Chain A
Amino acid sequence: MSILLAALFLLASPQSGVERITVAPADANVAGLSKAITPKVTFRRNVASATRAPWVDSNGWRYLRQPDGHFYCDAPGVAAATLAAAEAFAYDVPVKIRTDSAGSESLTKMLAFLRTVKEGDYSPLINIGFVDDGSAESGEFMNLLVRRNLLFKVVKQPDPKLDLNVELGSTQYPKSEAANPSLLAEKVRANLTDAKRLLRLYGSEVVVSRLMGHGDDVRLYLFNYGVARSPANGVRIRVLGAFHKQKAMQFDAPETKLIDVTVDSGATEFTLPELKTFAIINLAK
Chain B
Amino acid sequence: MDTAANRVDAAAVKLMLSRGIRELTGASNDHDAWSHFISPGDTVGIKVNCSGAPEINSNPELVSAIIDSLIALGVPADRIYIYDRFENQLRIVNFGPKVAAGVKIVGAESSRGSILGYDPYTYVEADFFGEEDTRSNLIRIVSDTLTKVINIPTMKEHRAAGVTGCLKNIAYGDFSNVARSHQREKSNTYSFIGTLASVEPLRSRTVLNIMDGLRSLWQGGPFLQSPKFLFFPKQIVLGTDPVALDHLLIDMIEGKRKQEGAPSLFDRSPGHLKRGPELDPQFNSFIREPGHVEYASTLGLGIFDKDRLKDKVVEL
Instruction: Say whether A and B bind each other.
Output: yes
| A contacts, CB < 8 Å to B | 51-53, 148-149, 182-183, 185-186, 189, 194, 201-205, 230, 232-236, 260, 262, 269, 271, 273
CA distance A202 to B129 in the complex (A): 15
Partner of A203, one of B111, B130, B133: B133
When the two chains form their complex, are residues A52 and B115 in contact, meaning their CB atoms are under 8 A apart?
no
| Most chain B beta carbons < 10 A, residue from A183, A232, A234 | A234
**A262 in contact with B121 (CB, 8 Å):** yes
Q: Nearest 10 A-B pairs (CB), nearest first?
A: A233-B114, A234-B115, A186-B130, A203-B115, A234-B116, A260-B120, A202-B133, A202-B135, A233-B111, A234-B114
CA–CA, A5 and B127, complex, Å: 59
The answer for the CA separation of A235 and B114 in the assembled complex, in Å, is 8
Alpha-carbon gap, A183 to B130, bound state (A): 8
Cβ of B271 within 8 Å of any chain A Cβ, yes or no, is: no
Residues of A near B183 (CB, < 8 A) are 52
The answer to whether residues A204 and B113 also contact, given A149-B132, A186-B130, A194-B134 and a CB cut-off of 8 A, is: yes
Q: How far is the CA of A189 from the CA of B134 in the complex (A)?
A: 13
Q: Which residue of A lies closest to B140 (CB)?
A: A260
Chain B 86-120, CB within 8 Å of chain A: the 1/0 string? Answer: 00000000000000000000000011011110001
CB-CB under 8 A from A262, the residues of chain B are 121
Rounded to whole angstroms, the CA-CA distance of A52 and B275 in the bound complex is 15
Instruction: Tell me the interface secondary structure of chain B in the complex.
Output: loop
Least CB separation from A269: chain B residue? B120
Contact in complex: B115, A271 (CB < 8 Å): yes
Q: Give the chain B neighbours of A203 by CB distance below 8 A.
A: 113, 115, 133, 177
- Residues A51 and B121 in contact in the complex (CB < 8 Å), given A202-B135, A233-B115: no
Task: Give A51 to B120 CA distance when docked, in angstroms.
Answer: 26
Give the Cβ gap from B108 to chain A, nearest Cβ, in Å.
11
Are A236 and B115 touching (Cβ within 8 A)?
A: yes
Among residues of A, the one whose C-beta sits closest to the C-beta of B118 is A234
Distance of A84 Cα from B135 Cα, bound (Å): 30
- A53 to B130 alpha-carbon distance, docked (Å): 11
A176 CB, min distance to chain B CBs, angstroms: 19
In the complex, the chain A residue whose C-beta lies closest to that of B123 is A202
CA distance A21 to B129 in the complex (A): 39
| Residue with the greatest number of chain A CB neighbours at <10 A, chosen from B120, B132, B183 | B132
Q: How far is the CB of B164 from chain A (nearest CB, A)?
A: 21
- 7 residue pairs from A and B, CB less than 8 Å apart: A51-B130, A189-B130, A205-B132, A233-B113, A233-B114, A234-B114, A260-B120
Expressed in whole angstroms, the minimum distance between the Cβ of B170 and any Cβ of chain A is: 22
* Docked complex Cα distance between A262 and B119 (Å): 13
Q: Which of B114, B121, B135, B177 has the most CB of A within 10 A?
A: B114
Question: Complex Cα distance A194/B110, Å?
Answer: 30
A52–B135 Cα gap in the complex (Å)? 17
Residues of B within 8 A of A273 (CB): 116
- Contact yes or no, B111 A201, CB < 8 A: no
Query: Which residues on B sit within 8 Å (CB–CB) of A148?
Result: 132
Q: A183 — which chain B residues lie within 8 A by C-beta?
A: 130
Question: Chain B residues with Cβ under 8 A from A260's Cβ?
Answer: 120-121
Contact A271 B116 (CB under 8 A): yes
Contact assessment for B120 and A236 in the assembled complex, using a CB-CB cutoff below 8 Å? yes
Note all chain B residues with C-beta closer than 8 A to A194: 127, 134
CA–CA, A194 to B132, complex, Å? 10
A201, B134: Cα distance in complex, Å: 10
Nearest CB of chain A from residue B187's CB, rounded to whole Å: 14
Q: Considering the chains assembled together, what is the distance between the CA atoms of A49 and B121 in angstroms?
A: 33
Across the interface, which residues of B come within 8 angstroms of A269, CB to CB? 120
A194 to B183 CA separation, bound complex (whole angstroms): 22
8 Å CB contacts to A: which residues of B192-248? Answer: none
A residues less than 8 Å from B121 (CB atoms): 260, 262
Q: State in angstroms the CA–CA spacing of A230 and B134 once bound together.
A: 22
Indicate whether A201 sits within 8 Å of B113 (C-beta atoms), given known contacts A260-B120, A262-B121, A271-B120: no
Q: How far is the CA of A271 from the CA of B116 in the complex (A)?
A: 9
**Chain B residue contacts of A53, Cβ below 8 A:** 131-132
Chain A neighbourhood of B129, CB < 8 A: 51
Task: For the complex, give the distance between the alpha carbons of A183 and B133 in Å.
Answer: 16
A-side contacts of B133, CB under 8 Å: 201-205
Chain B residues whose CB sits within 8 angstroms of the CB of A232 once the complex forms: 113
Question: Cβ of B110: which chain A residues have Cβ within 8 Å of it?
Answer: 233
Among residues of B, the one whose C-beta sits closest to the C-beta of A207 is B132
CA distance A73 to B215 in the complex (A): 56
Beta-carbon contacts of B122-144 to A below 8 Å, as 1s and 0s? 00000101111111000000000
CB–CB B134/A233 < 8 A: no
Q: Say yes or no: A233 contacts B132, CB within 8 Å.
A: no
**B125: nearest chain-A partner, CB-CB:** A194
What residues on A are CB-neighbors of B120 within 8 Å? 236, 260, 269, 271
Chain A's closest residue to B182 (CB) is A52
Considering the complex, give the chain B residue whose CB is closest to the CB of A206: B113
Q: How far is the CB of B143 from chain A (nearest CB, A)?
A: 12
Tell me the smallest distance from the CB of B91 to a CB of chain A, in Å: 17
Q: Please, how many angstroms separate the alpha-carbon atoms of A223 and B5 in the complex?
A: 51
| Chain A nearest CB, measured from B40 CB (Å) | 32
What is the chain B residue whose CB lies nearest that of A187? B130
* B111 / chain A contacts, CB cutoff of 8 Å: 230, 233
Give 4 new A-B contacts, CB below 8 A, not counting A203-B177, A234-B115: A53-B131, A203-B113, A233-B114, A271-B116
